[in-house]
Structure 1
Amino acid sequence: MEDFYVTIPYGVAVLGGGVAGYLKRGSKASLAAGAGFGGALILAGALSAWAFARGHSGNLFATVLQTVCAVALTVVMGIRYIKTRKVMPAGIIATISALVLIFYVYKISNGGNKVYVPVSAA
């Protein structure tokens, strides 16, 4: 499975969570973090989809960007969950981010950035 199938919905969820935090609590920090991380993840997913459409199985910049975002969200939201014990949003985002991070590491360890060369029917 290609990483953009995971990255784009993950980015939309993070962005949506930031918007929801702003609308519910008026938190500008939630909005900024959600927009920043969500936008970066959506960008990484789009770059990965673009590379895939051109015959590559991944884009190095996209792979690094999405992995860094997943690590940061896992750590930051994990620490916030440990401190507050609030499942929403910290526990949920930390858990989703950890699962997505596992997927990214699996994808990278199985050669996720190799170039795909289609075999022409001659």
Structure 2
Amino acid sequence: MGLDLLGFAYAATVAAGGIMGYAKAGSVPSLGAGLIFGSILGIGAYQLSRDPSNYALMLGTTTTLGGLMGYRFYNSRKFMPAGLVFCLSVGMAVKLLVKNVANNSPIKTG
């Protein structure tokens, strides 16, 4: 199995978003949350690269981040940054679930 490039890109985007939140608004919570979530997502992407069935950390972190940012987006109605991270999180969660369901399907194709 190759590298989970999409997972690493998602982790880097989350970490970069935290850094940008700090740079633009001086938000220490954004910096902390972005770096913590980005780091955990990076570890999850590494685990997926090693073993595609080891997706629990990535899925848990993605759904947590998606839930938090979805709540912020619902309350603020501002797409940046909460709406964007929510959309990315939903996309990543769908990717993880579809890939896992396809790998564990009792129907073998080809």
TM bucket normalised to smaller: 0.7 to 0.9
Q: CA deviation at 1:108?
A: 1.2
Indicate if the aligned counterparts of 1:44 and 1:65 stay in contact, CA closer than 8 A: yes
What's the counterpart of residue 62 of structure 2?
Answer: 70
Whole-Å Cα distance in 1 between the matches of residues 42 and 97 of structure 2? 18
What is the root-mean-square deviation of aligned Cα atoms in Å?
1.8
Shift of 1:5: 2.1
Check the 8 A contact 2:11/2:39 in 1, yes or no: yes
Pair 1:4 & 2:16 matched: no
1:86 to 71, 78, 84: 78
- Among all aligned residue pairs of Structure 1 and Structure 2, give the percentage whose two residues are the same amino acid: 29
Consecutive unaligned residues of structure 2, counting only runs of 5 or more, are 105-110
**CA offsets per residue over residues 11-41 of structure 1, 9 Å max, x none?**
0000000000011111111111101110011
CA deviations on 1:61-87 (whole Å, 9 max, x unpaired) are xx1111011101111101100100111
CA distance in 2, matches of 1:86, 1:78: 11
Q: TM-score, normalised by structure 2?
A: 0.86
Highest CA radius of gyration, 1 or 2?
1
Matched positions, count: 104
TM (norm. structure 1) is 0.78
